[in-house]
Amino acid sequence: MVGELTSDDLQEWVSGLDVLFGRVAGRFGRVEPRRQARAYLLGLLAPIERKNGWQLAEAAGDAAPDRMQRLLNSARWNPREVRADLR
| Nearest in space to 61 (alpha carbons), one of 73, 46, 72, 79 | 46
Q: What is the pLDDT of residue 6?
A: 84
Q: What are phi and psi of 50, to 5 degrees?
A: -115, 135
Which pTM value belongs to this model?
Answer: 0.81
Per-residue pLDDT tens digits for 19-29: 999 999 999 99
What average pLDDT does range 79-85 have in this prediction? 93
Query: Does 2 reside within a domain?
Result: no
Domain that holds residue 67: 7-86
| Nearest in space to 37 (alpha carbons), one of 77, 1, 64 | 77
**Which is more confidently placed, 56 or 8?**
56
- Counted domains in the chain: 1
The answer to whether residue 1 scores a pLDDT higher than 80 is no
**Amino acid identity for residue 57 in this structure:** A
Q: What is the pLDDT of residue 53?
A: 92
Query: Does 67 reside within a domain?
Result: yes
